[in-house]
């Protein structure tokens, strides 16, 4: 079985974690390695649920902070972009760690493990969550499983999700709603369209409204969130000689975290008033909560730039449990999932140091 | 092997033809039955090419008329809509023959066979063509194969295609052009659309032009053809969280037979000026040619209503060979391919009588 040495420096530990491949649904080896490594730390109580591992201090502190990261990755490239390699610094590029998981998000996991190893007597109680199934359908999400089955294990006053943020703090996240707008016509032979009604032509108005739509920028707890309403899919037509009787436009609304899920539904229905809007999925965002004392202490201790998180992340799962949460981790999110996924070595070191400034 | 008795009345012969199933690519049995029945008629020279059968008089007449029909059908329903059944007349419905092929187009084939049996000394030379593979991709079309390999066998001064026209004469046919209009954008995460460019949104202008387009009505050789320009397909989007970088609108232009294929391309490019228009297929129509003496004689002899053919049919294949052609046959084309395909018995009888008025 692979073994993890938590006394390694954070870069080497990131490489070791990456070199245990853990594509979604195949996290057993890395989960076991993490569980075994944590089991040697007597200040932590370790429990496992599927391939999700939770380690907690139980010091009776007034505040509990949750540090969470997923241990799965998207699939490897062909040929595989593992094991990891290191580049040397050039005049234009820093030294980097290259390979699947270096950005999303074995670096964050390595920081968690290094903190677990070093922070034995923190001023707050700490919960470390290493969870499976983040990169695939929500039904497999280990954090969602904990929230449903063992919410006590992830309860806390403040949470940090160590997803890549390029070293800055990204607060909260936008919500995301997907809806289908179905246009219904009447099929006919395309040589005699006057016998039917073209559903694709009816989609013109829907697209016109999308093009004309002015997305809002909303300030929540001091951070500016840029909303967006965009088509992400359109389909219609069954044959080259048939007037289509159905066309579906799929829209995605990314909304500021001051809106509830119901607010978002009402907004989209308003934009497409008069049309058949069917909501397919809807996940509200998370307020950054940067006005809360625990969050303020975190921001002050780290001393790094603070901005909004535009994409939806699992911080919203904490938010839904009443736990304010932020994103902070090494790696540029634009490099996540890329074939040449890579991150500067210095970012791993800086992230570990920043977290130690806060917790130690 | 199934046997066809050409002395049957036209309704019974239609039923017998339908009851030899001949879904496209499976026409051997019916082709053999037709070939065997025609071989007994000494006034005809019979040749076979694949599952296409040609029978010709060789009387040295000044004029040659081609009578053509396809012998394949679209697939049966489940449970099968064969063997045929007959309904009895009610106060609101005539007696009908019900089942696959009764409309498209075993009735027309039965009329051809009845004429072949009865018209032994016509005032024109006659060519009967019974061809395979009309209901599927053009590469399988038996008439196209003859046009390419043995154009002499289908040469003539005038042609009648016995496709269903509900008992009227439909002259010529419209052309049909299909083109893809591709919109290209730049992919981005849908939470940060400002990093990309939405190709589906760009399709709004294309759809707007389609909606605004005023289709022309064009009179050719005295018949009014109604043009049409319609979307028959649209697709875009690869995932619910991605700004799509590609959207394709497929349009179908049905154009009057006074336009060449090149005219049609120029027209569509004009409507979508500024866009990337890729022509996928283009089949010019056929002029009705009703001003030609052979056609005039046909129209006068039949004494039935005359109109334009809106859909593209194989008359265009004759037209391309320089043979003017019309459509005339029993059955309502709106019933073609229907699960409850059916035609009034009287239409088969009337069609046979009308053709006999002309040829006998």
Q: Which of A27, A72, A135, A227 is catalytic?
A: A72
Sorted by where each begins, the domain ranges of chain A are: 10-173+286-359, 175-283
Q: What ipTM goes with this model?
A: 0.81
pLDDT at B1 over 80: no
For residue B263, CA distances in Å to A111, A176, B269, B284 come to: 68, 48, 10, 10
Q: What is the pLDDT of residue A334?
A: 85
**Torsion from C-alpha of A288, A290, A293, A296, nearest 10 degrees:** 130
Contact between B145 and B50 under an 8 Å Cβ cutoff? The reply is yes
pLDDT band at A226 (very low <50, low <70, confident <90, very high): very high
Q: What is the mean pLDDT of residues A221-227?
A: 93
Mean pLDDT score of chain B, rounded to an integer?
95
Length of chain A: 360
User: What does R_g of chain A's alpha carbons equal in angstroms?
Assistant: 23
Q: What is the pLDDT of residue B310?
A: 86
Specify whether A224 is catalytic: no
pLDDT at A349 over 90: yes
pLDDT at A29 over 90: yes
Q: pLDDT tens across B259-299, in order? A: 999 999 999 999 999 999 999 999 999 988 888 888 888 99
Q: pLDDT tens across B7-32, in order? A: 999 999 999 999 999 999 999 999 99
Greater model confidence, A172 or B71: B71
Indicate the CATH number of A175-283 among 2.40.50.140, 3.40.47.10, 3.30.70.360, 3.50.30.50: 3.30.70.360
Mean pLDDT score of chain A, rounded to an integer?
95
The answer to whether B189 contacts A226, with C-beta atoms less than 8 Å apart, is: no
d(CA A88, CA B315): 72
Q: pLDDT tens across B27-75, in order? A: 999 999 999 999 999 999 999 999 999 999 999 999 999 999 999 999 9
Q: Which CATH architecture has domain B10-173+286-359?
A: 3-Layer(aba) Sandwich (3.40)
Residues of chain B in contact with residue A310, where contact means CB-CB under 8 angstroms, are 191-192
Specify whether A157 is catalytic: no
Residue A253 buriedness (CB in 10 A; 0-12 / 13-18 / 19+): buried
Q: Looking at CA atoms only, how far is residue A250 from chain B in angstroms?
A: 8
The answer to whether A236 contacts B233, with C-beta atoms less than 8 Å apart, is: yes
For residue A256, give the chain B residue with the closest CA: B191
Between the two ends of chain B, the Cα-to-Cα distance in Å is: 32
Question: Which residues are registered as beta bridge partners of B55?
Answer: B46, B128
pTM reported for the whole predicted model: 0.81
Q: Which of B200, B251, B257, B268 to mutate to test the interface with A (most CBs of A within 10 A)?
A: B200
Q: Which has the minimum average pLDDT: A38-52, B8-22, B189-203?
A: B189-203
Question: Which residues of B are catalytic, by number?
Answer: 72, 134
Q: What is the pLDDT of residue B188?
A: 86
Q: pLDDT tens across B341-357, in order? A: 999 999 999 999 999 99
For residue A194, give the chain B residue with the closest CA: B228
Q: Looking at CA atoms only, how far is residue B57 from chain A in angstroms?
A: 36
Residues of chain B in contact with residue A239, where contact means CB-CB under 8 angstroms, are 232
Q: What is the pLDDT of residue A293?
A: 85
Nearest to B240 among A204, A242, A250 (CB): A250
Residue ranges of chain B whose CB lies within 8 Å of a chain A CB: 174, 176, 178, 189-194, 198, 200-201, 203-204, 207-208, 210-211, 226, 228, 230-237, 239-244, 247, 249-250, 252, 254, 280-281, 310-312
Q: pLDDT tens across A115-153, in order? A: 999 999 999 999 999 999 999 888 999 999 999 999 999
Q: What is the pLDDT of residue A343?
A: 97
Q: pLDDT tens across B107-138, in order? A: 999 999 999 999 999 999 999 999 999 998 88
Q: pLDDT tens across A78-97, in order? A: 899 999 999 999 998 999 99
């Amino acid at each position: 079985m692979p073994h993890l040495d938590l006394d390694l420096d954070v870069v080497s530990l990131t490489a070791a974690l990456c070199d245990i491949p853990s594509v979604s649904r195949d996290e057993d080896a890395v989960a076991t390695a993490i569980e075994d490594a944590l089991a040697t730390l007597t200040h932590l109580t370790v429990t496992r649920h599927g391939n999700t591992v939770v380690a907690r201090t139980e010091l009776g502190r007034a505040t509990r902070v949750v540090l969470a990261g997923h241990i799965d990755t998207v699939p490897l490239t062909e040929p595989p972009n593992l094991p990891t390699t290191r580049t040397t610094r050039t005049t234009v590029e820093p030294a980097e760690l290259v390979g699947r998981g270096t950005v999303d998000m074995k670096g964050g996991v390595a920081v968690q493990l290094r903190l677990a190893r070093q922070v034995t007597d923190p001023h707050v109680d700490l919960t470390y969550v290493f969870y499976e199934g983040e990169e695939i359908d929500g039904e497999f999400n280990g954090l969602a499983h904990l929230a449903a089955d063992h919410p006590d294990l992830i309860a806390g006053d403040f949470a940090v999700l160590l997803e890549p943020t390029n070293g800055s703090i990204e607060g909260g996240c936008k919500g995301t709603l997907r809806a289908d707008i179905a246009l219904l016509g009447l099929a006919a032979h395309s040589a005699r369209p006057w016998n039917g009604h073209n559903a694709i032509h009816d989609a013109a108005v829907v697209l016109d409204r999308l093009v004309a739509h002015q997305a809002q920028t909303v300030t929540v707890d001091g951070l500016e969130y840029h909303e967006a309403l965009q088509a992400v899919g359109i389909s219609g037509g069954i044959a080259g000689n048939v007037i289509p009787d159905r066309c579906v436009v799929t829209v995605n609304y990314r909304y500021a975290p001051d809106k509830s899920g119901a607010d978002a539904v009402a907004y989209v229905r308003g934009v497409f008033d008069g049309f058949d809007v069917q909501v397919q999925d809807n996940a509200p965002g998370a307020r950054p909560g940067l006005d809360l004392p625990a969050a303020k202490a975190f921001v002050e201790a780290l001393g790094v730039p603070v901005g909004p998180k535009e994409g939806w992340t699992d911080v919203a799962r904490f938010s839904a449990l009443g736990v304010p949460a932020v994103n902070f981790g090494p790696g540029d999110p634009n490099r996540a999932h890329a074939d040449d996924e890579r991150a500067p070595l210095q970012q791993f070191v800086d992230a570990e140091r920043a977290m130690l400034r806060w917790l130690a």
